[in-house]
Amino acid sequence: MIKAILCSVVAISMVASSTSAFQNEPTEFRGIKWGAEINRLSDMEFQVKTAGLDIYTRKNEKLAFGSADLKAVAYSFYKDRFCAVFVAYEDWSNFNALMLALSEMYGSGKRDENNPLEHTWLGKNIFIILDYNELSAQGKIIYYYAPIWFERDKDMQ
């Protein structure tokens, strides 16, 4: 499942930047502040390096988000700084539960005109994507911290 999440790394770069904000834009994910240095986080386990990112999982990760069951959560670090989270899940019921949880936390997301099962929240610093594939019955949430993510993009050119 981590490999499936990692395939999404490239797709993130395709989301256009925005200066709009959404309600309650998060400054952290599960207690880890955006930009936090990996050497200050003792409960992380290195998994793989890909596309300039170091991917970690967390010991004893809670595989739930609201009332949804999750398959995996992967934390991405660029130059040892926390910049993205990839959350994998399965099943339509979990998509609905995640959509409800995200909407309650951040307000209504923007639904993609071409894919009604993809929703985005574009903030000043945080971009969030929720999507679901009906054929595979799999989906993901991607949070990324734009200042570090765009630094990575610039460095990769």
In one-letter notation, the amino acid at residue 8 is S
Q: How many domains does the chain have?
A: 1
Tokens read off for 133: 């594939």
Confidence bin at 86 (pLDDT 50/70/90): very high
Q: Reply yes or no on whether the pLDDT at 100 is more than 80.
A: yes
Whole-prediction pTM:
0.86
Tell me: the pLDDT tens digits for 4-55?
A: 444 444 444 444 444 457 889 999 999 999 999 999 999 999 999 999 999 9
Question: What domain range is 146 assigned to?
Answer: 2-156
More confident residue, 7 or 65: 65
**What gap in Å lies between CA 127 and CA 116, rounded to an integer?**
18
**What gap in Å lies between CA 74 and CA 56, rounded to an integer?**
6
| Ramachandran quadrant class, 79 (left: phi over 0; alpha: psi -120 to 50; beta: rest) | left
Q: What is the CATH number of the domain that holds 121?
A: 3.40.1000
pLDDT, residue 23, reads: 82
Tokens read off for 81: 């700084």
